């Protein structure tokens, strides 16, 4: 049998693509190396404890948004909750609860001594309108990018909305802050550095303004905690795909991709399949390995991903009687606001809910992560890398101890992970995660139009447009699936 499409990897890029193609009646095979889906956004069990592997807080769940639409259409058994606050940002001198309402944030920032309230209101009004223009694109995969006549006409009708973004292309988020006379207002700088680091993967001083403005809405657009862990959503999406007739193969890693007359031969751990088209949910370095040649067309993308990040992780099991808020909650901890928000100085920390039974006797778990600069890590010898990662994990523990002593005191079980763990676990060479940072420059816009790497071979995932996050990768997967289906119907 020749499949219409083989999907390599069931991360959220592959899951979004698989479900969309299966909905359209395509003959799909999903090949996932692990025995469960989700990749960097999965939930794993070790020694009786259940942890989020990487991602912990997810957008796209408000009515009409992508995940909400899938949950509704396929009656997925997924329960979500809007944490209140969504995140608590803790620094040495203050704590800022960030709720799902932009007005609350503006009001809180306005309470800082000497806060320039009018300028803050103007800045967020502008951010909101510019972000709104971009999100109208992101929310509708059919419009992104405008390949068909209908989409093109819709874009032309909408173009006045995008025009205000034009002056900010090739400028940074910090430039926009300065244009509003807010560059001396330290609480805003810290807030923006924190949110930029976890979304566009760089500081406000370096972030390409339009991308950063759009992702600043992260907390305000359907952001939720998934009860039981994000693995619940990943598994539900995969089951929905299977129920629509897709062939789903777990523990089936793909070893090689070879072009053949009628498509691609996909060699796997246990055999091979043939498909007219392939969607690879892997980073460019891994795709090169599967193609078995130099794949020079992936040079630029590879360099951008290598200029990004790895992750150092702490997974904590808490005592059953830990005295914490009962709901799942999220903390963003900054040890020294004057230093870069990486390498344990900045830790994103997510605590499961008391009703989720993640550990022995119903105990709770914590997933904590920090950014590790890939270029710095790769320049080291393997021994030096080991020492460096251990130092980063100690810095994480120190930040946790200072900013979240309640977690430190309740910890009874501890696991660590490094870029090396991610390389082994999700097949990302060197452990590069988070895609390409959206740093200032028009390079950011390269690859905005998904197109095949080679005839019939497509990429999805966080190294390609629209980039990092479960929502972005799922959206990109859905978009690419639409293009694949269109090509299949032309070829049929
Ligand atoms: C520490 C950390 C924290 C994060 N926090 C958040 C967050 O809070 N919210 C958020 O939205 N996003 C977050 N993200 C980002 C988000 O997790 C990722 O952008 C997204 O999950 C990446 O999805 P992906 O589809 O690109 O790839 P992956 O998740 O890497 O999935 C790829 C899949 O392909 C499989 N695979 C690889 N090679 C092969 C092969 N040869 N054969 C078969 N299968 C293969 C892997 O096993 C994996 O399942 C975080 C990421 C990290 C690392």
- Closest atom of ligand 1 to 350 CA is 8
Report whether 255 contacts 67 (CB < 8 A).
no
Q: Does residue 197 lie within any of the structural domains?
A: yes
Mean pLDDT across the stretch 454-474?
Answer: 94
Q: Does residue 87 lie within any of the structural domains?
A: no
pLDDT of residue 405: 97
Instruction: Report CA dihedral (246, 252, 254, 255) to the nearest 10 degrees.
Output: -150
pLDDT of residue 139: 61
Q: Does residue 53 lie within any of the structural domains?
A: no
Q: Is 286 in the pocket of ligand 1 (CB under 6 A)?
A: yes
Q: Is the pLDDT score of 149 beyond 80?
A: no
From ligand 1's centre to the CA of 39, what distance in Å?
A: 4
Q: Is the pLDDT score of 153 beyond 70?
A: no
- Closest atom of ligand 1 to 468 CA is 19
Pick the last residue of a domain from 186, 220, 254.
220
From ligand 1's centre to the CA of 474, what distance in Å?
A: 11
Report field, pTM of the whole predicted structure over 0.85: yes
Closest residue by Cα to residue 40 from 288, 269, 309, 296: 309
Mean pLDDT across the stretch 369-387?
Answer: 97
Mean pLDDT across the stretch 307-317?
Answer: 97
359 secondary structure, DSSP code: B
What is the rounded radius of gyration, in angstroms, for the C-alpha atoms of the chain?
22
Q: Does residue 471 lie within any of the structural domains?
A: yes
Percent of the chain having pLDDT more than 90? 85
For 91, 94, 256, the CA distances from 252, given in Å and listed in that order, are 44, 48, 12
Q: Is the pLDDT score of 145 beyond 70?
A: no
pLDDT of residue 165: 78
Q: Is 100 in the pocket of ligand 1 (CB under 6 A)?
A: no
Report whether 254 contacts 275 (CB < 8 A).
no
Q: Does residue 86 lie within any of the structural domains?
A: no
Q: How confident is the model at residue 372 (pLDDT cuts 50, 70, 90)?
A: very high
- Closest atom of ligand 1 to 311 CA is 1
Report whether 410 contacts 324 (CB < 8 A).
yes
How far is it, in rounded angstroms, from Cα 32 to Cα 21?
17
Residues 120 and 215 in one domain: yes
Residues 107 and 206 in one domain: yes
- Closest atom of ligand 1 to 470 CA is 11
Residues 232 and 294 in one domain: yes
Q: Atom 35 of ligand 1 has which residue's CA nearest to it?
A: 9
Q: Is 218 in the pocket of ligand 1 (CB under 6 A)?
A: no
- Residue written as tokens 């109208």? 136
Mean pLDDT across the stretch 299-313?
Answer: 94
118 secondary structure, DSSP code: H
Mean pLDDT across the stretch 72-79?
Answer: 98
Q: How confident is the model at residue 99 (pLDDT cuts 50, 70, 90)?
A: very high
Residues 10 and 30 in one domain: yes
pLDDT of residue 397: 97
Among 10, 30, 55, residue to substitute to test ligand 1 (most atoms within 8 Å of Cβ): 55
- Collect all residues with Cβ–Cβ distance below 8 Å to 223 and sequence separation of at least 6: 57, 58, 59, 61, 82, 86, 100
Closest residue by Cα to residue 40 from 289, 367, 349: 367
Residues 289 and 437 in one domain: yes
From ligand 1's centre to the CA of 51, what distance in Å?
A: 15
Report whether 312 contacts 392 (CB < 8 A).
yes
Q: Does residue 294 lie within any of the structural domains?
A: yes
Q: Does residue 124 lie within any of the structural domains?
A: yes
From ligand 1's centre to the CA of 40, what distance in Å?
A: 3
Q: Does residue 231 lie within any of the structural domains?
A: yes
Residues 342 and 417 in one domain: yes
- Collect all residues with Cβ–Cβ distance below 8 Å to 152 and sequence separation of at least 6: 146
- Closest atom of ligand 1 to 425 CA is 47
Mean pLDDT across the stretch 70-94?
Answer: 98
pLDDT of residue 137: 66
How far is it, in rounded angstroms, from Cα 281 to Cα 426?
11
Pick the last residue of a domain from 201, 220, 239.
220
Q: Is 10 in the pocket of ligand 1 (CB under 6 A)?
A: yes
Q: Is the pLDDT score of 157 beyond 70?
A: no
Nearest-5° Cα angle at 330, 329 to 334: 145
Tokens of 159: 């173009």
Q: Is 238 in the pocket of ligand 1 (CB under 6 A)?
A: no
Buried b or exposed e, range 169-192, using 16+ CB within 10 angstroms: eebbbbbbbeebebeebebbbbbb
How far is it, in rounded angstroms, from Cα 391 to Cα 168?
38
Q: Atom 31 of ligand 1 has which residue's CA nearest to it?
A: 11
Residues 241 and 300 in one domain: yes
Pick the last residue of a domain from 165, 198, 220.
220
Total of domains in the chain:
3
From ligand 1's centre to the CA of 55, what distance in Å?
A: 8
Residues 297 and 440 in one domain: yes
Q: Atom 10 of ligand 1 has which residue's CA nearest to it?
A: 469
Closest residue by Cα to residue 304 from 421, 407, 201: 201
Q: Which domain holds residue 65?
A: 2-42+59-80+227-304+433-491
Digit-coded pLDDT (tens) for 235-279: 999 999 999 999 999 999 999 999 999 999 999 999 999 999 999
Cis peptide before 145 (omega within 30 of 0): yes
Residues 240 and 285 in one domain: yes
Among 32, 33, 40, 473, residue to substitute to test ligand 1 (most atoms within 8 Å of Cβ): 40
Q: How confident is the model at residue 450 (pLDDT cuts 50, 70, 90)?
A: confident
From ligand 1's centre to the CA of 38, what distance in Å?
A: 7
Closest residue by Cα to residue 451 from 273, 298, 266, 304: 298
Residues 172 and 318 in one domain: no
- Higher confidence at residue 138 or residue 47? 47
Tokens of 412: 């009874």
Q: How confident is the model at residue 335 (pLDDT cuts 50, 70, 90)?
A: very high
How far is it, in rounded angstroms, from Cα 190 to Cα 334?
9
Classified as helix, coil or strand, 325 is coil
403 secondary structure, DSSP code: H
Residues 17 and 105 in one domain: no
pLDDT of residue 142: 59
CATH number of the domain where residue 64 is located:
3.50.50.60
List, as one string, the DSSP characters of 2-49: EEEEEEE--BHHHHHHHHHHHHTT--EEEE-SSSSSBGGG-EEEETTE
Mean pLDDT across the stretch 130-154?
Answer: 63
- Residue written as tokens 């590069």? 432
Residues 194 and 280 in one domain: no
- Collect all residues with Cβ–Cβ distance below 8 Å to 331 and sequence separation of at least 6: 87, 88, 90, 348, 349, 350, 351, 403, 404
Q: Is 31 in the pocket of ligand 1 (CB under 6 A)?
A: yes
How far is it, in rounded angstroms, from Cα 325 to Cα 158?
45
Dmax (CA) of the chain? 69
- Measured over the CA atoms of residue 402, residue 407, residue 409 and residue 415, the dihedral's sign is negative
Q: Is 282 in the pocket of ligand 1 (CB under 6 A)?
A: yes
Report whether 204 contacts 173 (CB < 8 A).
yes
Tokens of 52: 């989020």
Q: Atom 27 of ligand 1 has which residue's CA nearest to it?
A: 11
Rounded to a whole number, what is the distance in angstroms from the first to the last CA of the chain? Answer: 15
Mean pLDDT across the stretch 305-322?
Answer: 96
From ligand 1's centre to the CA of 436, what distance in Å?
A: 13
How far is it, in rounded angstroms, from Cα 279 to Cα 291?
13
From ligand 1's centre to the CA of 161, what distance in Å?
A: 32
Q: How confident is the model at residue 111 (pLDDT cuts 50, 70, 90)?
A: very high
Q: Is 11 in the pocket of ligand 1 (CB under 6 A)?
A: yes
């Amino acid at each position: 049998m020749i499949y219409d499409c083989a999907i390599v990897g069931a991360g959220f890029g592959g899951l979004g693509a698989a479900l969309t193609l299966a909905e359209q009646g395509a003959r799909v095979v999903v090949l996932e190396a692990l025995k469960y889906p989700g990749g960097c956004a999965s939930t794993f069990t070790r020694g009786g404890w259940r942890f989020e592997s990487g991602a912990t807080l997810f957008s796209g769940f408000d009515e009409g948004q992508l995940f909400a639409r899938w949950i509704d259409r396929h009656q997925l058994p997924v329960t979500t909750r809007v944490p209140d606050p969504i995140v608590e940002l803790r620094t040495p001198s203050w704590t800022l609860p960030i709720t799902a309402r932009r007005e609350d944030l503006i009001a809180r920032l306005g309470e800082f001594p000497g806060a320039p309230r009018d300028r803050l209101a103007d800045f967020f009004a502008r951010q909101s309108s510019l972000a709104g223009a971009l999100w109208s694109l992101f929310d509708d995969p059919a419009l992104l990018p405008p390949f068909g006549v209908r989409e093109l006409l819709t874009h032309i009708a909408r173009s006045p909305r995008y025009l205000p973004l034009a002056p900010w292309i090739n400028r940074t988020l910090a430039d926009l802050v300065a244009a509003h006379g807010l560059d001396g207002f330290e609480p805003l700088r810290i807030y923006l550095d924190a949110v930029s680091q976890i979304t566009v993967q760089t500081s406000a001083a370096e972030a390409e303004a339009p991308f950063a403005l759009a992702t600043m809405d992260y907390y305000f657009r359907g952001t939720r905690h998934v009860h039981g862990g994000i693995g619940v959503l990943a598994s539900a999406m995969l089951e929905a795909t299977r129920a629509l007739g897709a062939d789903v193969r777990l523990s089936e890693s793909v070893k090689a991709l070879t072009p053949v007359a009628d498509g691609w031969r996909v060699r796997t751990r246990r055999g091979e399949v043939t498909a007219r088209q392939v969607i690879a949910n892997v980073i460019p370095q891994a795709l090169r390995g599967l193609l078995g040649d130099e794949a020079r067309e992936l040079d630029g993308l590879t360099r951008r991903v290598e200029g990004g990040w790895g992750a150092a992780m702490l997974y904590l099991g808490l005592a059953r009687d830990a005295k914490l808020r009962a709901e799942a909650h999220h903390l963003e901890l900054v040890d020294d606001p004057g230093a870069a928000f990486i390498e344990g100085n900045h830790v994103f920390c997510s605590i499961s809910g008391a009703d989720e039974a993640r550990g022995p006797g119903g105990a709770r778990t914590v997933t904590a992560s920090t950014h590790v600069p890939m270029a710095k890590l790769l320049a080291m010898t393997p021994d030096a890398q080991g020492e460096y990662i251990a130092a980063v994990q100690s810095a994480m523990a120190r930040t946790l101890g200072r900013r979240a002593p309640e977690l430190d005191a309740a910890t009874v079980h501890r696991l660590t992970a490094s870029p090396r763990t991610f390389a082994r676990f999700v097949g990302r060479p060197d452990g590069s995660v988070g895609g390409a940072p959206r740093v200032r420059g028009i390079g950011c816009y390269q690859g905005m139009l998904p197109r095949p790497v080679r005839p019939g071979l497509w990429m999805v995932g966080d190294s390609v447009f629209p980039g990092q996050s479960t929502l972005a990768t799922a959206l990109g997967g859905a978009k690419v699936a639409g293009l694949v289906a269109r090509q299949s119907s032309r070829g049929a």
